[in-house]
Amino acid sequence: MKKSVLLTIDLIMAVLLIFLDQITKIWAVNRLKDGEPIILINGVLKLYYLPNGNTGAAFGILSGHRSFFLIIAIVVVTVIAFALTRIPNTKKFKLLRILLVFVAAGGVGNMIDRFRLSYVIDFIYFYLINFPIFNVADCYVTVATISIALLVIFKYKDDDLKVLEQSFRGKNE
């Protein structure tokens, strides 16, 4: 498959993931903002709108630094876009490519909220362990990042990592 076709597929996938994230946030505002939480699993998981949104990063850290988060998101998405143009078009790196699209989509989904609202809409609450309230974009970023780490640790061998390194340097294209 040509690289341009792959990049088009990556872009379409990212747009669909961002759309799904934004739709869930719109739903959360319309259904949960002034209403009762929806219990999905009693004592474990509920949908609960976080009043005043999340102005920080994960778990509300660095709250109120909107410009910082916008810049970081732009840098991360730019780096991922560059990586997607360089990752070899082989079966071995297909999952890495998909996971990077999930990270980028999550970053953009939350960046849209920060730009539009100055905060991120959070509404998923895992209250069994009093876990901080989060959203679909956070799920994309967290699950994909952990999966990438597992790929690098358990699947990719040194030779695979060298291939990636060379592709990022523009060698062996």
Average pLDDT, whole number, for the chain?
90
The confidence score (pLDDT) of residue 115 equals 87
Active site residues: 122, 138
Longest dimension (CA), the chain: 57
Angle at 109 (CA atoms; ends 104, 115), nearest 5 degrees: 115
Domain total for the chain?
1
Say if 45 falls within a structural domain.
yes
The dihedral formed by the CA atoms of 80, 61, 132 and 38, expressed in degrees to the nearest 10: -80
The confidence score (pLDDT) of residue 58 equals 57
Cβ atoms within 10 Å, residue 14: 25
Cα(163)–Cα(128) distance, integer angstroms: 43
Say if 31 falls within a structural domain.
yes
Say if 106 falls within a structural domain.
yes
Are 109 and 122 a contacting pair, CB within 8 Å?
no
For residue 54, what is the DSSP state?
Answer: B
- Both tokens assigned to 139: 């799920």
- Both tokens assigned to 27: 């739903």
Residues of the chain with confidence (pLDDT) below 70? 53-66, 171-173
The confidence score (pLDDT) of residue 173 equals 47
What's the domain range around 118? 3-168
The confidence score (pLDDT) of residue 101 equals 98
The confidence score (pLDDT) of residue 64 equals 62
Say if 173 falls within a structural domain.
no
The confidence score (pLDDT) of residue 70 equals 80
Rounded-to-5 percentages of helix, strand, coil across the chain = 65, 10, 30
Cα(10)–Cα(3) distance, integer angstroms: 10
